[in-house]
A and B are shown apart, each in its own frame.
Chain A
Amino acid sequence: MRFTFICREKLSKAGSRVAIIGAGPAGLGAAGYLACRGYEVEVYDKLPLPGGLMVFAIPPWRISKDAVLNGAKELEESFGVKFILKTKVYLGNVVRRDEGDDFIEKIMPLDKLIDEYDAVIVATGTWESKLPKLPGVESRGVTTALAYLYKHRIYELGLTSRRPGDGERVIVIGGGHSAIDAAEQALNNGSYPYLVYRRTIKEAPAGVYEFMKAASAGINVIELASPMEIVAEGGIVKGVKFQRMKLGSLDETGRPKPIPIPGSEFFIEADAVIFATGEVATPPFNINEEGILNKLNIRVSKEGNIEVLKEGLSINQRVYVAGDVARGPSRIGPALGMGLQVARKVDYILQARAGKLALVAR
């Protein structure tokens, strides 16, 4: 992945410094553009390597980690982009614990970055998975697709010696790409997982094709079923009680609403239950502290995505937001695209600011 696809080498120095928080596709795209434009770019990430979900979640049979890591290496070696890794950026009284926090060696306060750089781009993605509020969901053996895939990725990368073991019988619940990836991962580990979705595969965000492929590879696809309870013994998962669904009228997302069929409960035994039921935005500040939101002039939407007032920039005109942390879970392309657009905006604004300063100086 060549993030500096618009240039062969760095423009002469722009003289401004930009901090980017998060080295996923949004952050790396922004870094590439700004590096080409001559900025001094420093990228902060809590993980030990850049790449975000492309390196730490998506399985290697979809994307090769090397393609992503080589792109980041080029940024570093040929364009002088500095990567400050194992560093979590945060602002708030108590640092929130997100997924993927295991490697953090240092906490960097967000307001310090805002003071030290000419602009700060927040591209921290969605590193917290949603778990449905079901009885037994806290049992051992219940995990999320992100946590499950992450465990495999850090093992492959040699970042942990702990081999992911997850028992023989795996149930994955969900209908998106992460559900497919988790089920394929389990299959790859030698189990014949169940993949359970509450609508039919025709409505599934991952699409009919991916589900058919999964089914023909040996994954047990079950449509129109929703979990009611995680059955556990002594705090350890034994299986999942499901309920059959039928499709009703269209809901607010334009898809038919799944409606439970009373008396249709059934049970599947399992040692591992993986919820692939969405992730939420994890901005580098406490979204519940009014004072912080006001200080940054940032709003948080109902879904937990962050909205910065006035066209993606805050009142101090230094904080920008890009990628899934702004819009919620999407795909690599949209996150990358937003990173590029925001970087271009930062370039305009910093150039304008420099122009104004020059006028004053004259």
Chain B
Amino acid sequence: MSDLTQVEKYIRVIDLAKCIGCGSCEAVCEFLYGTPFIKVYRTSMGLDIPISCMHCRKAPCIEVCPTGAMIRDSTGAVYVIPSKCIGCLACLYACPFSIPELDHRSRAAIKCDLCRDLRNKALDPACVAICPTGALIYGFEKEVFTLAKLRTAESIAKARYELASWRT
């Protein structure tokens, strides 16, 4: 099944420059779904990195799924229809980020769906709503890309400003 996405979609990105690894995203996700679909990993360097589905625009998991259980909703989020899933985990093999997991009860693949239920109620994904540092950005692609660059501009400006005030 082809997965064409020409229309502008929503996107979530994680700004690692802002993330402090506090685990709030993981906590609300685990609270809602019993298992966290965004999780903060302590790396060997001691830097905490949150990992979750990237909702790839050319998603290998969708391409590889033999039953059409892995699909994309109209906003751009990639999700699983449990009744169609046979739990083969071809999606996990295909995923470059090792995202999909297996739910023991339904024996279907499970992963982040950017809080479909909450979004249907016009709410943001829980991780985005709770993040105390604004590290999780969610919105229309263009807005998110603009905001990300604006942050880069701010940090460059700050560095220049500090340099200037240091010289005087």
Contacts and interface: CB of A to CB of B under 8 A. Distances in A.
**Main secondary structure on chain A at its contact with chain B?**
helix
B30 A337 contact: yes
A258 to B, nearest CB: 18
Given A209-B45, A337-B30, A5 B129 contact: yes
Given A6-B32, A334-B27, A340-B31, A67 B132 contact: yes
B130 interface: yes
A334 B40 CA distance: 12
A1 B42 contact: no
Interface stretch (B17-25, B77-85, B86-94): B17-25
B102 interface: no
A25 B133 CA distance: 14
Contacts of A2: 124, 129-130
A333 interface: yes
B133 A6 contact: no
Contacts of B26: 333, 337
A133 interface: no
A343 to B, nearest CB: 9
A67 B134 contact: yes
Contact of A337 (B27, B123, B129): B27
A32 B129 CA distance: 12
Given A5-B124, A67-B134, A208 B30 contact: no
Contacts of B22: 63, 331-333
18 contacts: A2-B129, A3-B130, A5-B123, A5-B124, A5-B129, A8-B122, A62-B20, A63-B133, A64-B133, A64-B134, A207-B42, A211-B46, A332-B22, A332-B132, A334-B27, A336-B130, A337-B23, A340-B31
Interface residues of B, number: 30
Given A1-B132, A8-B122, A332-B132, A209 B32 contact: no
A273 interface: no
B99 interface: no
Nearest to B48: A207
Interface in A203-224: 204, 206-211
Contacts of B23: 331-334, 337
Contacts of B123: 5-8
A340 B45 contact: no
A330 to B, nearest CB: 9
A63 B124 CA distance: 20
B118 to A, nearest CB: 7
A208 B130 contact: no
A332 B129 contact: no
A68 interface: yes
Contacts of B148: none
Interface string B122-143: 1110100111111000000000
A208 B45 contact: yes
A359 B118 CA distance: 34
Contacts of A333: 22-27, 40
Given A5-B124, A6-B118, A208-B46, A68 B132 contact: yes
A336 B27 CA distance: 7
Interface string A64-78: 100110000000000
B28 A5 contact: yes
Contact of B28 (A63, A206, A337): A337
A81 interface: no
Nearest to B126: A5
A286 interface: no
Given A5-B130, A63-B132, A340-B27, 5 more contacts: A6-B126, A333-B27, A336-B130, A337-B27, A337-B31
A120 B32 CA distance: 23
Nearest to B117: A6
Closest 6 pairs (CB-CB, A-B): A207-B46, A333-B23, A337-B27, A5-B129, A2-B129, A332-B22
Contacts of A206: 46
Interface in A1-51: 1-3, 5-8, 25, 29
B121 interface: yes
A334 B28 CA distance: 10
Contacts of A1: 24, 129-132
A54 B20 CA distance: 12
A344 B34 CA distance: 13
Nearest to B20: A62
Nearest to A210: B46
B47 interface: yes
Contacts of B129: 1-2, 5
A143 interface: no
A255 B132 CA distance: 31
Nearest to A213: B47
Contacts of B131: 1
A341 interface: yes
